[in-house]
Every structure is written in C-alpha cells, then in structure tokens.
Amino acid sequence: MAIAAKHNKNLRPAKHPRSDQQSQFSLGSYKFSFALTALLFLLSFTSRIQGNETLVLSFRGAAFALLLWQSHLMYLAFRAKETRVFSIVLRPQHYIQAMVQSSVYLYWGYYWQPVYEHGWLIIAQLLFAYTFDMLLAWSRRREYTLGFGPIPIIFSINLFLWFRDDWFYLQFLMIAVGFMGKEYVRWQREGRSVHIFNPSAFALGLFSLILIITNATHLTWGHEIASTLTLAPGIYTFLFLIGLVVMYFFSITLVAGVSAISLFALSALYYQTAGVPYFLDSEIPAAVFLGLHLLVTDPSTSPRTPLGKTLFGLLYGLGVFALYTILDNLGAPTFYDKLLCVPLLNLSVIAIDRAVRSIKSETILNLWNQNWFKGRANLAHMGIWVAVFLGMSLIGKTDGKHTGDSLPFWAQSCSAGLPNACGRLLQLKETYCGDNSAWACNELGAHYKEGKITEIDTGLSLAYFERACELKYQLACFNLLDQNLLGRGDPQELDLRLLLREGGQNLMNTPLSELYARACEHEWSFACSMTQVANGTRL
C-alpha cells in the first residue's frame, strides 16, 4: 500500500494508456522482466553458485528459457501491435505471510547453517517466480498484478522441500508447475473461476508424489529439512507465536487450531492404546506444526464458512495422521505426510462447503455463529487455541523432553514387543546415523547382521559398519576386519551430544559431566557411572 501511495503522490491522473496499447508496441514492461531475468543470470556468477557446475547451468538455463519466452511474447505483441502492462497491488495476506515465513528462516537458519547458505538460491527462485508469473499472465493477454504474491509461494515451498545443488534445475521446474497449476487448474466456486490448489502445496504435493514413486528423495534436502527444525530451541513456541500473527490477520484459527488439536488428540489416543508414541519424537512433528500454520491455511483454497474451516482442519489432522502410517508401511519417507495431504484437501473444499450447506440443524450451524462473540469470533477461537497450546506445553507435549526422544525407551519397547517399536527404533537410529552418530551406525550394522529385529542384510550391515568406522567408532572397524566378530559398545561423547538433543537443544558445548547426567536421566545406564567419574575428574 505504501509503495502505491508513494507513486501516486507524484503522479498526475492521465488518459488511460490502454487505448494506445492497441495501436502501438513498445518495450515498456518487458524491461522489467528482462531486468529480473538478467539478475537471475548474474546470480550465477556469485561464489555460492560458482561452486557447483550444475547449479551454474541451472541458473543460466532458467534465465535462457525465460529470455526465449519473453522474446517470443515480444514478437507476438509486436505483430499484433499490442503492449503488455502490469500494475502494483500490495496485499496484506502476501506481505504478512512473507514476513512470518522470513522469521522462520531466520530463526531456523541460526541453528542450522544450510538455511542461510540456501539464501542465494531462494533469491534466484524469487526472480524466476516473478518473471515466470509475469510471462504467464502476459501469455494469457492479461495485465500482470505485481505485488508480494510470489514471495509466500516460494518461501512456502522452500520451508518444506528443496533440491540439492546437483539437481537444482528441478526446483525451477517445481516452481513453474506451481504457477501453471494456479493459472490452469481452476474450477467454478461460488460463481467465480478460481484456482483449485494452493500453488505451493500443489507443487509440493505433486513433486512429493513423484519423488516417492521414483524413489528419488535423495535428490532433495527433504529429510534434513523435516528433522532440523527442532534444532532451533523452543521451535514449537516460536511457531505458535508466529502462527498467532497469521491467525489474527487472516482468521485461519479454526483450520490451524482444529488440525493441531485433532493431531494432539489422535497422538494421545494412540499412546494410551499402544503404549508407545505415534510420531517418533513428538506429539506433532515440528514440520507438521509448521505446515498447519503456513501451508494448509491459504484462505482462497480453503472453505469459507466456520464449520467448513473446522472440518477442513479436522481432515488435515486425520489426513496427516493416516498418511504417516501409510507412507511408513510403504517404506516411503514419512515427512511427505503433511505435503501430500494439502492438495487432497484443496480438492475437497467444494464438497465440504456443500456438506455444510446441506446441514439442516440450526444448532450445528450456529455452533460457530459469528455473533456469539460480538463479531470477534476469531479472537475467541484464538483464545481457545492459546489455552489449548498452553495446556499442551504445561504437560510437556510441545517443546522439551518427550518420551519418544529416548532411545532406551524404544529399545525397551522393542524388547517388550510393543507395536511398531522395533521399526521406530531402527528409524531413530537411522536418523542419528544420518546425523553422523557413529554409535548409531554401528548399532544399525549390528541389527542388520544379527537379524533379530529386522531381516538380515549383509550388504547394508557392512555399509553401516563402514560409515561407523569412518566416523571413528573403532568397534565398527573391527566388525569390518573380522566378520565373525560383532562388537557393540556404548555411545561416545559426540554420540551423546546428538542422541540427547531432544527438542532440538544444542549440546555441543555442554560440559561432559552434565552430558552424562543428562544421559543417565534418559535411561542410559552406563552414563550414570560415568557421571560420577566426570564429576570426580572435573571434566
């Protein structure tokens, strides 16, 4: 708004230029799109990009493709003696969303360095997105509305998935598909032609599906993104607070709140029934908590009525809960659960609206009556959500220690034959091994060699031993030297710093005595005696 007003101060109302547009062609607006394309090209000369040849080619290839497209459009416009225009419209739902997302990047990146290193790549995606969106509008002979619209789309995509440098061209393709989905995949809703899918969720959902089918998750940073949010201390509280901003401005409390509450409830129910947590390391994985605040809450692709929003949130909770198990059973990475769910929900919006309209009961319809709270229904909903979140925090279900964080807990549960416990134990150890815990890698090698809690796989066993050995776990090296041997030991110091970082705490500089004390609290029995040694020697 401010920018538009500033421009307007200096402007004198003039004859609408459109009458001239029909009769003459000029470079005009193309200069802007050319400038964005040139910036994208120039970014390929930065040191971050120059470090990888594929990245350089991806940037230049994308710039070249955009240039070709612009040239083609210019040629068509020149022949038709038309010109293309754009207008500036700044919408709060875009720039507030973008600011909230930026704060997540800043906070998360402070604790996980690759986020900041990804900065140049996000800028490149923004340049690409703006140009692509503009050219798409002009290809459809429409004015382009310039604002902050592409920013939340790009930020949203990158909060959940980005391709590694060697395959970064696929990131540009994913963005292109997202914008094409917004432009072309539409339906009539309440008499208007609107896009069906949230553009970022469409791109994420579609590419997630392809990555699962082609078993190509290793081309992305998906695993790391999903698991490193918790490296930022108090991430749940942080997401909750920024979520309140979005809830306040855009009345998405019913969607976000109900989905969170339903997930909390389902997790608790499962724990009571099975004796083990449903999700591995929290009641709601941090990335899911992020998704239910910033991914599923696009007002234009969700129901409009309060009851519809409630159903929408409930379905998201159920969907994520169900997809987690489905993906796990399929052997696919479970972090896709929150991404696959949104496009399916977008498709159900009309059905939800129709279902709500078909309800005859006045009592149900008036359940969320706006007048109940003197027109401040959203604030009332937010109040309930704040109370629920505080309650969950007080009983330790958000940040802080969580039963599922403890490996000994899963080991005991696995020995006791509790459902899914052995699978979770392996999964947890795989995560820690991926984080360079040598002990966890050696444990995995041992499991695949022994075949007690999983099938024997000699190749995989050796691969894990090799990794553990490279990480200087000497027993693993001996396991490699002599295949008749199976050496297993206790976690080493670095292992403990990784294994005990529940809730994402950074334990890298924790004194050794504290570390062992913490390990002892987490049922690592060997650490209890080490605590005394560490205290005695003032380590």
Partner 1 sequence: MEFCLFDDTGCKRNKAVTIKPPPTNAERTNSEVKLNKVPSRTIGISAMIISIFFTAYWMSLQGSLMDPVSEDMESSAILFEGFRSDAWQLPDDEFLGFVEIASGQFTMGSNPAVDRMAYENERWSPSRRQGSVDLPTYYIARFETTNAQYRKFLLDTNAPTSASAAGMIPITNITWPEALSYARWLDTQLRQSSLTPEPLRQFLSAGGRVNLPTEAEWEKAARGSDARIFPWGAQPSGAFANFNGTELLAVGSKACPDCSYGLSDMAGNVWEYTRSPAQDYPYDSNDDFQHLIEGALWVMRGGSYADPVNNVRTAVRGSVGPGVRNSTIGFRLAISQL
List binders of partner 1 among 153-172 (CB under 8 A).
Answer: 167, 170
477 binds partner 1 (CB under 8 A): yes
**CB of residue 514 vs partner 1: minimum separation in angstroms?**
18
CA distance linking residue 85 with residue 143, whole number of Å: 5
Among 55, 122, 146, 266, binds partner 1 (CB under 8 A): 146
CB of 146 or CB of 151, closer to partner 1? 146
Bridge partners, 195 (sequence order): 186
**CB of residue 353 vs partner 1: minimum separation in angstroms?**
18
Please report how the helices 235-250 and 286-294 are oriented relative to each other, as an axis angle in degrees rounded to 10: 10
475 binds partner 1 (CB under 8 A): yes
**CB of residue 122 vs partner 1: minimum separation in angstroms?**
21
HEC sequence for 221-272: CHHHHHHHHHHCCCHHHHHHHHHHHHHHHHCCHHHHHHHHHHHHHHHHHHHH
The string of DSSP letters for 354-369 reads HHHHH---HHHHGGG-
The CA-based diameter of the chain, rounded to the nearest angstrom, is 89
Per-residue x/- mask for partner 1, residues 81 to 100, rule CB under 8 A? --xxxxxxx-----------
347 binds partner 1 (CB under 8 A): no
Q: How far is CA 480 from CA 448, 477, 495, in A?
A: 14, 5, 20
**Tally of CB atoms within 10 A around 354:** 10
16 binds partner 1 (CB under 8 A): yes
**Residue 459 burial by Cβ neighbours in a 10 Å radius (0-12, 13-18, 19+):** exposed
Per-residue x/- mask for partner 1, residues 110 to 139, rule CB under 8 A? --------------------------x--x
CA distance linking residue 328 with residue 497, whole number of Å: 27
- Per CB under 8 A, the segment of 174-182, 251-259, 343-351, 356-364 that binds partner 1 is 174-182
CA distance linking residue 3 with residue 274, whole number of Å: 57
478 binds partner 1 (CB under 8 A): yes
Per-residue x/- mask for partner 1, residues 229 to 268, rule CB under 8 A? ----------------------------------------
Q: Do the beta carbons of residue 323 and residue 341 sit within 8 Å?
A: yes
CA distance linking residue 278 with residue 256, whole number of Å: 20
| Rg of the chain in Å (alpha carbons) | 26
CB of 68 or CB of 481, closer to partner 1? 481
- Per CB under 8 A, the segment of 13-21, 304-312, 382-390, 507-515 that binds partner 1 is 13-21
Grouping H, G, I as helix, E, B as strand and the rest as coil, residue 235 is: helix
CB of 45 or CB of 184, closer to partner 1? 184
CA distance linking residue 391 with residue 404, whole number of Å: 20
Cα dihedral: 312, 318, 323, 328 (round 10)? 160
Touching partner 1, residues 210-229 (CB under 8 A): 210-211, 213-216, 219
- Per CB under 8 A, the segment of 98-106, 207-215, 298-306, 388-396 that binds partner 1 is 207-215
CA distance linking residue 504 with residue 495, whole number of Å: 15
Among 7, 72, 357, 452, binds partner 1 (CB under 8 A): 7
CA distance linking residue 495 with residue 526, whole number of Å: 14
CB of 180 or CB of 460, closer to partner 1? 180
CB of 214 or CB of 509, closer to partner 1? 214
Q: How far is CA 141 from CA 130, 247, 377, 488, in A?
A: 16, 36, 41, 68
CB of 2 or CB of 394, closer to partner 1? 2
539 binds partner 1 (CB under 8 A): no
- Per CB under 8 A, the segment of 99-107, 182-190, 289-297, 375-383 that binds partner 1 is 182-190
Among 99, 183, 224, 423, binds partner 1 (CB under 8 A): 183
CB of 80 or CB of 330, closer to partner 1? 80
Among 72, 140, 354, 376, binds partner 1 (CB under 8 A): 140
Q: Are strands 86-88 and 144-146 parallel, antiparallel or unpaired?
A: parallel
Q: Do the beta carbons of residue 254 and residue 381 sit within 8 Å?
A: yes
- Per CB under 8 A, the segment of 9-17, 252-260, 280-288, 366-374 that binds partner 1 is 9-17
**CB of residue 533 vs partner 1: minimum separation in angstroms?**
14
The position carrying tokens 């159900």 is 348
